[in-house]
Structure formats: C-alpha cells, structure tokens
Amino acid sequence: MGRFSVVKRCDHQGTKRTVAVKQVNKKLMRRDRVTQELNLLQRLQHPHIVSLIDTYETPSSYALVLEMADQGRLLDYIVSWGNLTEEKVACYLRNVLEALHYLHNCRIVHLDVKPTVKLIDFGDAVQLNSAHYVHPLLGSPEFASPELVLGEPVSLTSDLWSLGVVTYVLLSGASPFLDESAEETCLNICRLDFSFPRDYFQGVSQAARDFVCLLLRTDPGRRPPAGLCLQEPWLQAGLGDGRARAEGCLDTSLIALRANRPPSCC
C-alpha cells in the first residue's frame, strides 16, 4: 500500500505469471506523475530493479503491471532464512548498490529506498537534470535523508543515506532515527542523532558499523557514490585487509517484530 496507490497480487492472463498490479487512484495523483514513473520504468532493465510488464487504465485508476519479487517482502524473507549473517546482509547490499549504480549512471535518483527484495516503487524517482531539484517529503521520514527533510536540493547520494538506514535495520532490527512522532524522527535525522546500542549490535563487526557511518553523513557530498561503496572491503566476498565480517548469526528478533512474525533460530 502506497500513499496514492494499492498493490495487488494477480495472475497475468497473457504470460500466466504471478504479477504485482499497482493501481494508482486518479483522484490522488495526476496523469503526468504516473507517466513520469512509467517512462522511467520503461527505460530501466536491471536484475535488481523490478521490471514493468504491462499497463492499463480504468475509469478510476492507472494500473502498472510489475514483476512480482519471488521472495515477497524482504523482512519476511530474512526471517525465513533463520540464519542471518553479515555475509548475507552484505550480499543483499551489493545487489542494491549495483542497481543504484546503474540508476545513478542514468542520473536517476530513487528517493524511496527501503528494505525491499528489489528496487521497487519509482513514484518518487526523478531524473536529475539540474543541481537544484527539491523533492517534497511525503509519508514516513524514517529512511529520508537530511536534505529531503530540510527541503534542500536532493542528490544521487540521497539514496545512499537511505541505504545506510536500511543497513542499520538489517544488522540490528532497530531503526537509527525513528521516534514516537514524525517531527522527532526528522529532528534526529537532522542532528545525526544515532548510536549503536550494545543490546542491538552485540556480535556486529566494527567494519559493518563503519559502513553504516560511511553512508549516514549529513553532507551529501561526503557520502561515497554507489560505485565506490561497492569497493568497500566489508562488502567484498574475499577480505584481505583484516576488516573481517562477524561470522556468527545476527539477532532477527526485532526484524521479526517489524515483519509481524516469530523469529527463526540459527
């Protein structure tokens, strides 16, 4: 469920595939906004970006027929593993970073990166043709960058901040800035008010924490682009400089609460 749309699981008659149909309410979103998302999706082809299959229109809605991510919701998928490790988190992040690197090479910023199996929901995505595009903050600010919260120009690295928040969530199940109200959450984001509580990060390597800090930088210019992030030692399959990942299983109890299901055991 989005701010202006609802997504339904359906069977595509032509291909017999299970698909996700995003229905956008015409009363809530203008045609040009839907057309912008459609045009972006038609241009994109990447294994870690959800693909557009078809479109149609009804009297009350625009409909985008999208690929259904095989594993469903990411947090459900993670809990079902039962043995979440830093290696698995790093593997997932590499996939997302490869998708972001592809997007950013096209000068497209997603602006709604969240814990999903693939990059989905391009309703906020925009092609940056100037250095001064200000995007309105809509919905929950949990994954939003400081520039988005403050109404300042966004950049390609706005997505990297969001990925830093996603990384923190996957490593601990907790959210670094989320508070009791949207206003308090925004204040925490702008103050860079986060830490690594021992109760949540016991067993998480220093290299993993350093990667989070690398992305959660207030100045967009100090965040590394996606291509450089992919070169970070913690994300590499073979580590030769001592920045090793923790080998034990991560605690998924808080992730299970976010996914509303019991945790599996390692």
Q: Return the active site residues.
A: 112
Measure the CA–CA gap between 249 and 45, rounded to whole angstroms. 34
Q: Which two tokens stand for residue 63?
A: 């409909």
Q: Which residues are paired to 61 by β-bridges?
A: 25
Handedness of CA 112, 116, 118, 120 (dihedral sign): negative
Q: Which two tokens stand for residue 163?
A: 């990925």
What are the φ/ψ torsions at residue 215 (nearest 5 degrees)?
A: -90, -35
Residue 244's CB: how many other CB atoms inside 10 A? 14
| CA-wise closest residue to 40 among 118, 106, 116 | 106
